[in-house]
Structure 1
Amino acid sequence: MPITFAVPPAGVAAALAETLPQLGRSAAIEMRAPAITEAAGRFALGDQLNVARNLEEVAASDAIATPVYVLGLDQLIAGNVAAGAKLALWAHIMPTNAGAVSAEVSAADTKFAQISNGIAIGRFRNAVTRMATEEAVEGGADGEVAQLRIPALQLTLLWLRKAGADSFEPLEVSSPALEVGRHYSEKELVAALHDEAQARAAGQGDG
């Protein structure tokens, strides 16, 4: 099975088209975050947005769509990463001349949630682009592309979902136990983060 992209629910693109163009016209945003201004205007395309359906389309697409899952400390400590993560958002990641931007809606009601251009977003798109190159050259890996966020530990990971063989690539980390760009199995991820998660859950990991 090749690497695939999940299909967002109906209404996601329309929700972004309704909200973002007006947001992008904000003088404050235009001054401080030109990438967001550029992306916000392009999201006006709505359902006409060219969203990649597979790796071959990534380079020429307007955006990549991906589900965003959130994992709590209790599930991490219990070793339930794949089973314990909850779908929270749908993100459309768009490249711009000033870096990649992620526009996100709530998975519960497809209402606009946030738009940002943090470092993890650029790394996510770069990782997917790299996958496309590897797939073309040597067959690459397989699975469905998603994001995993562990808010309590300030972690964002690219999650390649494959039953029984999930792979996690840290994109933004605050933990010394993880290395950006390295691929971890579910068992390896739990082992690396278990002590830190327990300390944070007990209120001992602050500061």
Structure 2
Amino acid sequence: MPIMNPETPQGLAAAVHDTLAQLRIPAGAVGDMAGLVATSPTMDGTAPLYTLRLDRLVAGEGLEAATPTGWRTLVTGTAHGVVTADADESDGALQVQQVSRGPAVAGLADAVAAAQEAGIGEVVYEMRMLQIPGISLTAVWLHTGDGTGDLLVPAAPAPAGLEPAQALRAGDLLTRVTALAETNLAEAPATPEP
């Protein structure tokens, strides 16, 4: 299964590199970000990042209701293995808003690897990243041109009922998590529409 990575916006690589360079920690420092800076970072798995709100999932709107929120890239070559860098366009320029590391990032790297190894026919997919924050789900989204054959590969840690790094038809995965979304939405305080 061929996977196309969409063309990344001009300046994304520089923004990620500059952000990592600014995170330099003095020698001997301790803490979460000590040793994070890569000597020669490699950006792998860069894809547009989409967010699906719980109310839209519960309403049955599906992936067509997911909104683009920026770009997510996996960065290797750091002292702590892989990290993610999330960027969006702010004030007319790409800016990295968050750099993360830890088990969830390792889970995403595994999901990207599983997505690249999935062997379903000769369909051409575009790689995207999907997050559904209200149920703590992050997945690699393999998007077909018309959306009818889309696959989702959940990253660990995944909600109950989903096997991390296992590709599922998008509709099947969304059906599995809808009950959890309904529960979480019912328990959440009301928030205004963005």
SS in structure 2 at match of 1:192? helix
1:122 pairs with 2:103: no
Change (3 A) 1:84 1:169: same
Equivalent position of 1:195 in the other structure: 179
1:21-78 Cα shifts (integer Å, max 9, x gaps): 021336697643456322xx535xxxxxxxxxxxxxxxxx653311111110011112
CA drift at 1:95: 1.9
Alignment deviations for residues 136-166 of structure 1 (CA, whole Å, 9 cap, x no partner): xx97763011111111111111111112111
Match of 1:104 among 78, 86, 92: 86
Give the partner amino acid of 1:144.
E
Number of aligned pairs? 184
Greater share of residues in helix: 1
Unaligned runs of 5+ in 2: 189-194
Q: Calculate the TM-score normalised by the size of structure 1.
A: 0.74
**For 2:168 and 2:10, how far apart are their aligned partners in 1?**
33
1:47 equivalent in structure 2: none
SS at match of 2:9: coil
Distance 2:2 2:112 in 1: 13
Aligned partners of 1:36 and 1:115 also within 8 Å? no
Q: Secondary structure at the match of 1:159?
A: strand
Tell me what 1:70 maps to: 51
Conserved? CA contact 1:35–1:117, under 8 Å: no
Spell out, residue by residue over 1:119-149, the C-alpha distance to the aligned partner (whole angstroms, 9 max, x if none). Answer: 23323333434555567xx977630111111
Deviates more, 1:151-160 or 1:8-17: 8-17
Identity in percent: 26
Q: Which range moved further: 195-204 or 29-38?
A: 29-38
Query: More deviation in 107-116 or 81-90?
Result: 107-116
Instruction: Check 1:126–1:179 CA distance in 2 against 1; reply closer, same or farther (3 A cut).
Output: closer
Aligned position for 1:53? none
Return 5+ residue gaps in structure 1 as ranges. 44-60
Query: Residue 110 of structure 2: SS of its match in structure 1?
Result: helix
Assess if the C-alpha contact under 8 Å between 2:111 and 2:139 holds in 1: no
Residues 77 and 194, structure 1, Cα contact 8 Å, conserved in 2: yes
Match for residue 142 of structure 1 among 89, 106, 124: 124
Contact 1:159 1:169 in 2 (8 A): yes
Q: Is contact 2:23–2:33 with CA below 8 Å preserved after alignment? A: no
Moved more, 7-16 or 126-135: 126-135
Q: 1:113 to 1:29 in 2, by over 3 A?
A: farther
CA–CA distance in structure 1, aligned partners of residues 127 and 80 of structure 2: 24
Are 1:144 and 1:161, in contact at CA under 8 Å, matched by a contact in 2?
A: yes
2: CA distance between counterparts of 1:29 and 1:151? 33
Correspondences of 1:166-185 after superposition (within 5 Å): 166-173=150-157, 175-185=159-169
- Which structure has greater strand proportion? 2
